[in-house]
Amino acid sequence: MRSFILIVTILFCLASCKDSNKIEREGEPTIYNVESEDPKMNAAILEANETLDEFNKGLSNVNADSHSLKVKFSNSKDIEHMWIGEIKYKDGNYSGILNSDPEYITEYKAGDKIDIETSKISDWMYLINGKLYGGYTIRVLRDRMSEEERKAFDEESGMLID
C-alpha cells in the first residue's frame, strides 16, 4: 500500500495555482500545477465533494485499501492540494498523515498528522483489487497525459482506471 501511495503522490501530489505546468523536485514528488479556474479540475473537485458518502462506504469495506483524501492547503500567497493517507473517520471528522512535503505551504511536512476540514477536501480515492474508486482529479490529470505518459503511469501505479 505504501508503494502505491508513493506512486500516486509522486505523479499527482499537488495541484496549485502557479504558472508552470510541472515542477520536478529531486527526492520529492513531482508537482503538477493546475490553474484555479480550470473548469475540468473544478468539476472533478465538485464531483468528489458530492460523492464523499461513497468514500465513507469505502472506509468500512474490508476489500478496499489505499484510502486517501486530497486536501486544499493555503496561505496568503499559495494554494496546494495534497494527498493525506492513513485516513481515520470518527464522529464525522477525518484525520490522516500527509504523504509528502509541500512545495509552498511550509507549515507542514510529510508524516504530519492532519485534522481534515470537510470543506477543504478536493478529492478522495481507494482501491478494490487495484481498481480506482474516486480519484476524480487523478482522472483529469491522467486524461491530459500523452499516450506514452498514461501508459507509464498505468504501469507504475498498477491502478485499473475505467
Helix H or strand E segment including 93: strand 93-98
Check whether 29 has a pLDDT greater than 50: yes
DSSP tally for the chain: helices H, then strands E: 5, 8
Per-residue pLDDT averaged across 58-63, rounded?
96
User: Bridge partners of 37?
Assistant: none
102 near 14, Cβ under 8 Å? yes
Per-residue pLDDT averaged across 58-85, rounded?
94
Report pLDDT for 57.
96
Structural domain boundaries enclosing 141: 2-157
Flag whether 112 is in a domain: yes
Q: What is the secondary structure of 99-146 as a DSSP string?
A: -S--SS-TT--TT-EEEE-GGGEEEEEEEETTEEEE-HHHHHHHHTS-
Other beta carbons less than 10 A from residue 21's beta carbon: 11
Flag whether 50 is in a domain: yes
Report pLDDT for 9.
45
Rg (CA), the chain: 15
For residues 135 and 113, what is the distance between their CA atoms, to the nearest angstrom? 22
Other beta carbons less than 10 A from residue 14's beta carbon: 25
* Banded pLDDT at 23 (limits 50, 70, 90): low
Per-residue pLDDT averaged across 104-128, rounded?
95
User: Total domain count for the chain?
Assistant: 1
Flag whether 162 is in a domain: no
Flag whether 86 is in a domain: yes
Q: Cβ-count burial of 153 within 10 angstroms (0-12 exposed, 13-18 middle, 19+ buried)?
A: buried
> Measuring CA to CA, which residue among 116, 53, 50 is closest to residue 83?
116
Check whether 18 has a pLDDT greater than 70: no
Flag whether 77 is in a domain: yes
Check whether 11 has a pLDDT greater than 50: no
